[in-house]
Amino acid sequence: MGRFAIDLPEDFKLEIQSQKLCYAEVSDFKWKEKDRDKERNALWAQKIEKIKKLTPPKIRKQIIIEEKVLKGIGHEARAIAYYGNQYAPNCTYWTILADYGTVGMWLTLDGEDDGLSIKNFTNILKHYQYGFNDLTEDSFCLNYGRIELPYLEQESTYARFAGPMEMKLEIDMSETHEVEKVGILESLAAALATNFAPGIDVEKIRGHKRTVAGLKGEELVTRITADMGPKLYFGWKYNGKEDSGEHPEIRISIQQAPDGNLDEKIKIWDAALDSFRPAYKR
């Protein structure tokens, strides 16, 4: 995930993963059909129809600006430029479907300067590699491969996994331009001091500073009891460093887990945090 990795038991299943790199939303996928040309054509036709249903800005007569084939990217790459925001008449969106053989990739980017946008997404697409062998310090990992580019700006990764005992583990990472000075422990203490939610009881099970992946963060495990009964919360947060790909703001959490089996859940939680690490061993 992005510039980091985590090990989870096999019964944790990925529900959603999204990434943004250099302002572009990127996702890769494996083809479902043996006839890749047929599937690619069908996916592209579906995307075009979806774009056509958008509402263009009032000063624009049509939603689609142009379609083009991008040369020198994978086996084939198709791009469409369009007005994707009815309230931003000068904002151009680009969506690209690239075919790298085993996998395909979607990329969406918006901006007012077409030249910079084209240069940006072309640079991203040309640096995609399938698989995770021989990762480098510049590897930004997606689901099935990675983009080999150093951190520039505007990176984020989100993933959610569904696990046993109704546990949902979430990982949220993004670059920060202003590091928060308050951690999750101080935030909880302040909330309890102000009686933030009358009728809700919060029992702190664990709360301390905890270094994960060499990053000094804070961990909090609580039992929260409200009208719907007690729920368990597990959280770890690292505030990050300004404008850094190696030190983004990171939040790892399991929220609203049913109460019970606490020892077993803590073991799973501890193992997950202990496995979290940079994707490339620096």
pLDDT digits (tens, 9 = 90+) for 36-66: 999 999 999 999 999 999 999 999 989 999 9
Mean pLDDT to the nearest integer, 185-211: 76
Q: What mean pLDDT is predicted for residues 276-281? A: 92
Assess contact for 6 and 253: CB atoms under 8 A.
Answer: no
- pLDDT in the model for residue 187: 78
Residue 8 has pLDDT above 70, yes or no: yes
pLDDT at 201: 82
Mean pLDDT confidence for 101-130: 90
Report, as an integer, the average pLDDT of 166-178.
Answer: 94
CA atoms within 13 A on the CB side of 247: 13
| Lowest pLDDT segment from 34-38, 182-186, 254-258 | 182-186
The percentage of residues in the chain with a pLDDT greater than 70, rounded to a whole number, is 95
pTM score: 0.89
